[in-house]
Structure 1
Amino acid sequence: MWKIPGLAGRPRFTSRATVLVLVLCSLVAILAYPTRQFLTQRSEIADQRARAEHARQQVDELRRAKARWQDPEYVKAQARERLHFAMPGETPFVSVDPSASPGPASADALPTGPVRAAKPWYTTVLESVDLADSTPAPHEDSTP
């Protein structure tokens, strides 16, 4: 093998190169946490800005709704629609579609037995007291 004079006894890394590598690794380790915090805070700021924009939009929508409610004609229209109000001289009516489904309860869930009229609560209480008074007492054995 050919030997180059002066390189046979030299180490691969000099002490200067080792110190430089250690300094670079230390800088990376020192700067990693602040960099991560910086990136996290930037994403949080972006989220907060998006929330603030959404809140501004909601405020604008509520202001428009408030302005609509200041108009007497809008209030009248809402009273007619929501509360079924009518102006003097008008005949109000509500149209019911007979072919519409009965709602969330199906026809199978309706009671099939005789339907009892609802009684006031106090009538039920008095009937239960009368029933308790008329119940015979249990027989006691008188035999010793």
Structure 2
Amino acid sequence: MILVLVLAVLAVSYASSARAYLQQRAHLDDLRTEIAERQADIDVLEREQRRWEDPAYVEQVARERFGYVMPGERSFVVLDEDGEPLEAEATLTDPADVAPEEPTAWWDEAWASVETAGRPPKDEGTPPATEIDGSPEQAPSGQEDSDQ
């Protein structure tokens, strides 16, 4: 019985030690991942710093962001269909890529207006014409509603 009790105590102590070991390993893995991410961020920042040391890159950024031009050059602003300047990120499409609109014949538009004129929209907001003094008017007994 004592042997079983000693083995149970050892199993519990080893289980808690194993749990602590596994938690520490998971924490170390998380820290290693974080270190790798930070190192990648540092590499990106160092690359960016080297780019800013290049005068050609600084000139390019000044042209793009601020619209600077060198002495003797002319600057042009491209406007969209509303007269607003396009953003620097906007791209113009190639006119060859745009599908041309097929023109419609003038007689098609004229005939469409004739068909529309033949079917005017019904006005739902006006009261019926048969109402007088708030009470509906009765048609004479010999006439139908279509004669009104």
- TM bracket, shorter-chain basis: 0.5 to 0.7
Query: Which residue pairs with 1:57 in the alignment?
Result: 40
Aligned match of 1:73: 56
Percent of aligned pairs with the same amino acid: 39
Give, in whole Å, the separation in 1 of the partners of 2:72 and 2:83.
31
Deviations 1:71-130 (A, max 9, x none): 0000000100111111111111221222699xxxxxxxxxxxxxxxxxxxxxxxxxxxxx
2:23 pairs with 1:40: yes
Name the Cα RMSD after superposition: 1.8
> What amino acid maps onto 1:80 in structure 2?
R
Higher relative contact order (CA 8 A, sep 6+): 2
Q: Secondary structure at the match of 2:15?
A: helix
Q: Secondary structure at the match of 2:65?
A: helix
Bigger Rg, structure 1 or 2 = 1
TM-score of the aligned structures, taking structure 2 as reference length: 0.53
Partners of 2:42 and 2:6 in 1: CA distance = 54
Equivalent-residue separation in structure 1 for 2:28 and 2:66 (angstroms): 45
Flag as ranges the 4+ runs of structure 1 deviating above 6 A.
none
Give the unaligned 5+ runs of structure 1.
1-17, 102-144
- Residue 87 of structure 1 corresponds to 70
Instruction: Go from structure 1 to structure 2 and tell me whether the alpha carbon gap of 1:100 and 1:56 turns closer, same or farther (over 3 Å shift).
Output: farther
Unaligned 5+ runs, structure 2: 85-148
Distance 1:20 1:100, change over 3 A: farther
Q: How many residues align?
A: 84
Distance 2:25 2:9 in 1: 25
